[in-house]
Structure 1
Amino acid sequence: MEDLALIRTAALEAGKLALEMRAAGLKIWNKEGGSPVTDADLAVDTLLRERLLAARPDYGWLSEETVDDPERLARRRLFCVDPIDGTAAYLKDKPWFSVCIAVVGDGAPACGVVYAPALDEMFEAVAGQGATLNGGQIHASATADLENSAMLGDARMFAHPAWPQPWPPMRIESRNSVAYRMCLVADGRFDAAVALSPKNEWDLAAADLIVREAGGMATDHFGRPFTYNAPIPQAPSVICAAPTLHPLILNRVAHIGRA
């Protein structure tokens, strides 16, 4: 697929730039709302916007680091981009950040890449064609029991006393990039990833497709599939899991209020 080759090449170039700028020293400030942003976030966003829209001028654009233009809603296809997902890891010189690019068509991802440049891991998927990591096919795990499963999330959240039913013992770890967490579920290194806070379309689009093409499941905590190119490009939560675990997790979070 020509779009996949285009976004793969762009992600590789963007990842190289992100690593080079981190090595050279970053300028850092806080956005409105307090989350950190760097000059590299903006430089990578500019690189991707110029490369991708030059190749596909009829596509719309939605990115974390570009002011949203509602004109995208009229486009049948658009690029959905997070230039550097996991900025906290990026700032701390940790490897768990990623460049995320999806091509969305008619509200669903048609192809997507999540590239972790510090690890040289390229996750890719095309709708209906499976998912790969560095060219090799990947599959979600067959784990069927939450007890002793490998979970990505906030250990404090799982240990909170307010849960109607306490969570069983699990191996809980964290990774800053939402998209990278989901890809680790897609390739079976982890069995599930749970985030009960709002996530944006650019966090989700590429990884959502990769997970589903790898045989996993990704929804919000009500079990609703994600849709894309919405006027407000946000989902209330993420439940990403091996297919046998997904309904078990939904059952445990069912009491949480509807968005």
Structure 2
Amino acid sequence: MTDSCIDLKADLALIRDAVLAAGDLALSEREAGLKIWSKSGGSPVTSADHAVDSYLRDVLMAARPDYGWLSEETPDSTDRLSARRLFVVDPIDGTVAYMKGKPWWCIPVAVVEDGLPVAAVIHAPALNETFSATRGGGATLNGRTITASDTTDLDDASVLADARLLEGPHWPEPWPAMRFEKRNAIAYRMALVAAGAFDAAIALTPKWDWDVCAGALIAEEAGARVSDHHGGAWRFNQLDPRQNSLICSAPALHPLIVRRTAPIPLAPR
């Protein structure tokens, strides 16, 4: 076993233990009563988001002081750009679901090395589901290997997306009839595609790295394909920590989706 494989296993164990404890913290914070306010863009944030962020930062950076840090709830710093490895964290993805007592929220954490995720965990505490992966090591759900759907046809595919977006008349190539559902957390949507519970997740607006980084590795290691809506590959730890858009799907569906979405210009950044 190479040193890099040992490092990835150690990093995976570190972030998994931290994320499981952070899930317990999030549940106890909600039980004790949340303070809620709005960010500058209008999205809600809670005292639990900040408590989980602080906990993860303290634990992970104490264990890996030479790693960089990127989190939704920590002011960004360009210092991370010079780090070969960094943690990418969303303390609570799906805050609205979390606030309302719905189960569709999660805590995603990834380790990025040279622009690519190499270890990742997505933990959904209310569902007792923990997805994890290392680069080249496959993906698991609660310790069991997961594989993306083998669906080959978009007709009747199960898709996590806004039906109003895809069912409109403005598409040069119409979409076939598909089954649409919603889940609050972007990372959890990607994990569900990785597990084969859904055939695709589609979002045509820019997504923050902390929302999609862990999901990208878990989905790819499960055999799914992940890209922007032009089919472009993602790179992480860039100056602008966002990806243009999200196509995460069963491998056979990816070209069918990108063929339809590619005419849409990339959003201005």
TM-score, reference length from structure 1: 0.98
2:212 is matched by which residue type in structure 1?
Answer: L
Of residues 209, 212, 218, the one that matches 1:204 is 212
Query: Are residues 1:244 and 2:244 paired?
Result: no
Q: Which runs of 4+ in 1 moved over 2 A?
A: none
- Return the alpha-carbon distance in structure 2 between the equivalents of residues 171 and 191 of structure 1: 10
- Return the alpha-carbon distance in structure 2 between the equivalents of residues 161 and 248 of structure 1: 18
Of residues 26, 38, 44, the one that matches 1:36 is 44
Query: Are residues 1:127 and 2:140 paired?
Result: no
- Return the alpha-carbon distance in structure 1 between the equivalents of residues 243 and 110 of structure 2: 16
Of residues 33, 56, 59, the one that matches 1:51 is 59
Tell me the residue number matched to 2:100. Answer: 92
2:164 is matched by which residue type in structure 1?
Answer: R
Tell me the residue number matched to 1:17. Answer: 25
- Return the alpha-carbon distance in structure 2 between the equivalents of residues 58 and 44 of structure 1: 21
Map residues 185-204 of structure 1 onto 2, 5 A cutoff: 185-204=193-212
Tell me the residue number matched to 2:16. Answer: 8
SS at match of 1:84: coil
SS at match of 1:102: strand
Mark the runs of 5 or more structure 2 residues left unpaired by the alignment.
Answer: 1-8
Deviation at 1:167, TM superposition (A): 1.6
Deviation at 1:166, TM superposition (A): 2.5
Query: Are residues 1:178 and 2:186 paired?
Result: yes
Of residues 147, 150, 158, the one that matches 1:142 is 150
Mark the runs of 5 or more structure 1 residues left unpaired by the alignment.
Answer: none
Q: Could you give the per-residue CA deviations for residues 69-114 of structure 1, whole angstroms, max 9, x where no partner exists?
A: 1101011110000000111111121101110100101110110000
Contact 2:120 2:132 survives alignment (8 Å)? yes
1:249 is matched by which residue type in structure 2?
Answer: I
- Return the alpha-carbon distance in structure 2 between the equivalents of residues 195 and 235 of structure 1: 11
- Return the alpha-carbon distance in structure 2 between the equivalents of residues 163 and 14 of structure 1: 42
1:153 is matched by which residue type in structure 2?
Answer: A
Tell me the residue number matched to 2:5. Answer: none
SS at match of 1:208: helix
Tell me the residue number matched to 1:169. Answer: 177
Q: Could you give the per-residue CA deviations for residues 213-245 of structure 1, whole angstroms, max 9, x where no partner exists?
A: 000001000111111100000011100000000
Deviation at 1:150, TM superposition (A): 0.5
Q: CA-atom RMSD, angstroms?
A: 0.8
SS at match of 1:11: helix
Aligned length: 259
Contact 2:231 2:262 survives alignment (8 Å)? no
- Return the alpha-carbon distance in structure 2 between the equivalents of residues 105 and 253 of structure 1: 30
Deviation at 1:40, TM superposition (A): 0.4
Deviation at 1:22, TM superposition (A): 1.4
Of residues 100, 105, 110, the one that matches 2:113 is 105
Deviation at 1:24, TM superposition (A): 2.1
1:227 is matched by which residue type in structure 2?
Answer: R
Map residues 44-83 of structure 1 onto 2, 5 A cutoff: 44-83=52-91
SS at match of 2:119: strand
Tell me the residue number matched to 2:159. Answer: 151
